[in-house]
A and B are shown apart, each in its own frame.
Chain A
C-alpha cells in the first residue's frame, strides 16, 4: 500500500501540486487521471522519489519514503518497477540485455538463471523471440511490453506506469491495459497508472484520483465516476460525445431517467416514450 499525505511541489515559485493526499491499495490499479498539465506526472515522480516534494509524505507499506536517505531509499526502489511514457529502454542494449540489466545489477545469479527469468517475463508480456532485437527495431507497443517486462523482472511490490497508452492505437492500448491489470492481480502489486485515456479508466481503474490544476478534485471507483456530479470531472471524462451518450444510456437503464437535455435520437428507439427531464437544479 502507498499512502500520499499532503504532497506539495512547486517549480521556481509556481505551485504544481498542492496538498494532494491519497491511499493506493495493493492488488489494485490506482489511476491518476487529469488533463495535460494537471500535475499527474509530477505527482507520480514525487511518489517514486524522482522529485523531492516541498511538503508532505509518501509512505510505502507504512515506511516514510520521503525521510529516507541513501541506502534505505535504494532498498525501497528495488521494490519499484516503472513503465515510462517513452518506454526508456537503453538504446545501446538489446531486449534481452535491457531486461537482464536489473538482474545483473542487483543479483549474483548465474547467466543461465537470469536468461530463464528474462524469457519468462518476455513470455508473460506475450513477446517471445525478440531477445536479440534492439529498441530501434521494435514498434511502440512492443517497446512498452519490453519496458513492462523490465519493470517486473525483479518481482516488484509497486508498479508505476506513466501514460502507458500514449502513442498507441486503441487495440494495442487495450492489450497493454489488460496486461497491467493481469500482472497487478497475479503478483498482488500496488499499481499506480497515470493516464488521460478514458478507455483505460473503465478497463482497469479500481481507484481513481482526478487531478485538476495540481489539486485533487475527485477520488472514487470506476462505478462512482460514471455517476459523479463533479462538474470538472464530468467535463473531463465526457469530453467525448460518445462517452456522454454511453453515460446517458446507463443512467436510463438504471434509473429510467436522463439527467440532461442531450439528444438521444441516435441511441433510442423511435417508439420509446418521452424521457423525463431531470436536469433542473444540477
Chain B
C-alpha cells in the first residue's frame, strides 16, 4: 500500500507546485541558481563520461568488425548512433540522477529536518512552488543541453580514440558520421532527455521534501531517490524506445 500512498503524495506534490508565485523576481533568481547548480555543476562529469564512452565505443566496435567486407566508416556510424540513441541520453541521465538527484534530495531533506521549509511556510511562501518548481524547470532546460553536449563530446571522443590508436583515420570517421544519418534519432534522444530530466528532478525532490527524522534519514532518502530515479529512467527508456522507434 505504501507505493500507492507514495504515488498519490507525489502527484499531489506536482499539483501543489502550480500556484501563483508570490514574487516573480525571487522565483527567477532561484531558477537561475538551479540552472547553475544542475547545468554547470554537472558539466565536468558529463564531459569526462561522454568522451570516454565515445572512445570505448570506437575501440570495441572496431574490435568486433572483423570482416573485410564492412567498410571502416561503419565504425563511425555505429558510434554515432549508439551515442545519440542510448549513451548520451540514458547513461548521462543515470549519472545525473546520482549527481543532481542526490543533491536535490539532500538539499530539500536538510531544509525539512532543520525546519527551513517550515520557516518558509510560516512566512506565507508556497514551498512546493518556490523550492521544487524551479528545480524541475532548471532540469528541463539544462539536462537536454547537457545531453546535446554529451552527444558531441561522445562522437568527438570516438574520433580521438580512433585516430590515436590508428583504427580509423579522421577523414573516414567524418565521412562515416554523415552516412545514413537519421535526424529523427536526435529528436528521439531529446524526447528521452526531457522525460528523464523530469524524473531526475521530481523524484529526488519528492523524497527530500517529505523526509522525516534526522541526518540518517536524509542519507537514506538521498540513496532511495537515486535508486528509484535510475529504475524509472531505465523503465521509461524501454517504454519510449518501444513506442517511438
Chain A residues engaging chain B, CB cutoff 8 angstroms: 48-50, 70, 73-75, 77-78, 80-82, 84-86, 88-91, 101-102, 104-106, 160
Q: Give the B interface residue count (CB, 8 A).
A: 17
CA distance A156 to B123 in the complex (A): 10
Q: Is A102 within 8 A of B25, CB to CB?
A: no
Query: Known contacts A74-B124, A80-B122; is A105 also within 8 Å of B23 by CB?
Result: yes
Contact B116 A85 (CB under 8 A): no
Contact with A along B2-32 (1 / 0, CB 8 A): 0000000000000000010011011000000
Q: Which residues of B contact A (CB under 8 A)?
A: 19, 22-23, 25-26, 110, 114-116, 118-119, 121-126
Please tell me if the beta carbons of B23 and A106 are within 8 angstroms of each other in the complex: yes
* Residues of chain A lying within 8 A (CB to CB) of residue B122: 48, 50, 77, 80-82, 160
Can you name the residue of chain A whose Cβ is closest to the Cβ of B110?
A91
Decide if B123 touches A104 in the complex (CB within 8 Å). no
Cα of A48 to Cα of B22 in the assembled complex, Å: 19
A88-B115 contact in complex given A104-B25, A106-B22, A106-B23, C-beta closer than 8 Å: yes
Q: List 14 A-B contacts (CB under 8 A).
A: A50-B118, A70-B19, A73-B124, A74-B124, A78-B124, A82-B119, A86-B115, A88-B115, A88-B116, A90-B119, A104-B25, A105-B23, A105-B125, A106-B124
The complex places the Cα of A101 from the Cα of B125 at a distance, in Å, of 11
Q: Is B116 a contact of A104 with CB atoms below 8 Å?
A: no
Q: Which residue of B lies closest to A45 (CB)?
A: B118
The residue from A74, A78, A81, A84 contacting B118, defined by CB atoms under 8 A apart: A84
Residues of B within 8 A of A74 (CB): 22, 124, 126
A90 to B22, CA, bound (A): 18
Which partner residue on chain B sits nearest A50 by CB separation? B118
Q: How far is the CA of A89 from the CA of B111 in the complex (A)?
A: 9
Most buried by A among B119, B121, B125: B119
Chain B: minimal CB distance from A101 (Å): 8
Bound Cα distance A82, B116 (Å):
11
Across the interface, do B124 and A84 meet the contact criterion of CB distance under 8 Å? no
Contact B123 A88 (CB under 8 A): no
Pick from B26, B116, B124: contact of A77, CB below 8 A: B124
B182 to chain A: closest CB distance in Å? 44
CB distance from A73 to the nearest CB of B (A): 8
Q: Is the Cβ of A85 less than 8 Å from the Cβ of B26?
A: no
| Contact (Cβ within 8 A) A88 B125 | no
